[in-house]
Homo-oligomer: A and B are copies of this chain.
Amino acid sequence: MPASKVFFIYAWLNPSYAGKLALLLIYYSSCVLTAILKPVFSILALVLLSTMSFTHPQARSWIDVKPGSDFPIQNLPFGIFKTRSKSPRAGVAIGEYILDLEVLYAEGYFNRTPLADHGNVFAEGTLNKFIGLGKAITRPVRERIAEILNTNNPELRDNADIKQKALVAQTEAQMLMPVHVPNYTDFYSSIEHATNVGKMFRDPANPLLPNWKHLPVGYHGRASSIVVSGTPIHRPKGQTKPDDAPAPVFGPSRSLDFELEVAFVTNANTALGQSISTRKAEEYIFGLVLFNDWSARDIQKWEYVPLGPFLGKNFGSTVSPWIVTLEALEPFRTDTPAQEPAVLPYLQFEGKKSYDIHLEVEIMPESGKGMVVTRTNFKYMYWNMAQQLAHHTVNGCNICVGDLYASGTISGPDAGSYGSLLEITWQGKNPLKMPDGTERKFLLDGDTVIMRGYCEKDGLRIGFGECAGKILPAV
């Protein structure tokens, strides 16, 4: 096939403005123009084609994507799923379906991508191998998936046999942990959350500790107990010390809480001693998930001095199953809040490094009468992800493929936007009234906590799906 024909098809599949212009240029260069103008027009067409993306806002898929879906062709988040007949494997969400990447690889759909040399990494039970290939490979693979799903592309659309094998209804699939998590860090980067906690437990006049505005405070969490959305969590037992008791007591936590967070997943194994600058940080971030950092406030309060949270947190954390790539979030970049006092040079950054992601939490009691208890936004975070990663590695700490770095509880500026029951009910002083008539100071057995997140602009919606977990009674 002559190159001009390949370009023509490529541009035709991609009916963005760039694609339409490229089509015109190729047409003129191939049949109309004089010998002098031909190469000029061809080069112009090539330049246009190189900037084209199959996830541009006008792109549509031959798979029906309902309005309000979290998963249009512009999203294409990666996850791991299984069905009754399929072993755990990688897929991307599209509308109400999962596209089985293991099948597509096996059928040769990635033969002309840089993935071809790396074997069927989609057959693994986690995304670590794929993610670890780095953006030089994962970016074009995502573009290729968008190309396959493009409404004008007959490759898979008109191949009933393979389509039947490669498309799975999300209702038929069980989602699994998207990555094996070698290391998990939890930051504390919401100024509203840190202020609220400081007011409650320390000094209402000086709620922030002296270090807070100088560095993104963080600590290491427990990687082993991170589970995927849908996994029930048993109410933890542990030591607590009621204020009026002479000694600690043992029993189920009486102040079990959620923490609304967003976590990023890294895509490289760096060497011990290597640092990552704020400028390069996003190249190391594959994508984001919603994260529920379940917390037993009473256990935490008694145990946490002087070395930080431990059993109050490590009984379980829940992640949403789909990793939304930074590429999908690109249109939703926004400014980080002003940082005053100025930060040290290694924490300084250029450009829009925050993301405008709407977040909400619903509590669904066993009665089935649920209520959204908070609405907030990821953009409120005082410290952005590039700063978090630069800080984490400035001492030479190495990172691994699949590491999770969670934001810390995300609270907004007003009471309707707090990211935990601790803040929403202000330590239980203002209980929530639920639609079924019950009250909540903290979570009750049988409550399901459902977190949702999405970006929205000009009719484009990029969503995270759900991050849900039900509280079971203590064992």
Name A's B-contacting residues (CB within 8 A).
182-183, 188, 209-211, 214-215, 217-225, 227, 231, 234, 236-239, 241, 247-250, 272-273, 275, 296, 299, 302-311, 314-316, 341, 344-346, 391-392, 394-400, 403, 475
Contact = CB atoms under 8 A, between A and B. Distances in A.
Contact of A475 (B296, B307, B396, B403): B396
Given A239-B344, A250-B345, A222 B220 contact: yes
Nearest to A214: B248
A316 B272 CA distance: 8
Contact of A247 (B214, B395, B399): B214
13 contacts: A183-B223, A209-B305, A209-B306, A214-B239, A215-B248, A219-B307, A219-B308, A225-B398, A234-B272, A237-B396, A272-B315, A316-B396, A396-B475
The 6 closest A-B pairs by CB, nearest first: A308-B308, A236-B395, A219-B307, A220-B220, A307-B308, A315-B395
Contact of A224 (B227, B314, B341, B399): B399
A404 B185 CA distance: 17
A247 to B, nearest CB: 7
Nearest to A248: B214
B307 A217 contact: yes
A307 B305 contact: no
A304 B209 CA distance: 11
Contacts of A211: 239, 241, 248, 302-303, 305
A397 to B, nearest CB: 4
The interface centre, meaning the residue of A214, A249, A341 with most chain B CB atoms within 10 A of its CB, is A214
Contacts of A346: 250
A117 to B, nearest CB: 24
Contacts of A306: 209, 217, 304, 308
A475 B221 CA distance: 27
A99 to B, nearest CB: 30
Given A215-B239, A311-B392, A396-B475, 13 more contacts: A182-B224, A183-B224, A211-B241, A215-B248, A220-B221, A224-B397, A234-B272, A239-B344, A247-B341, A275-B475, A311-B395, A315-B395, A316-B396
Contacts of A247: 214, 341
A267 B182 CA distance: 18
Contacts of A307: 188, 217-219, 308-309
Given A395-B236, A396-B316, A218 B272 contact: no
Nearest to A299: B395
B303 A397 contact: no
Contacts of A210: 241
A299 B308 CA distance: 16
A248 B343 CA distance: 10
B234 A310 contact: no
A186 B261 CA distance: 25
A227 B397 CA distance: 12
A430 to B, nearest CB: 24
A305 B183 CA distance: 21
A344 B224 contact: no
Contacts of A250: 344-346
Nearest to A220: B220
B310 A225 contact: no
The interface centre, meaning the residue of A303, A310, A394, A400 with most chain B CB atoms within 10 A of its CB, is A310
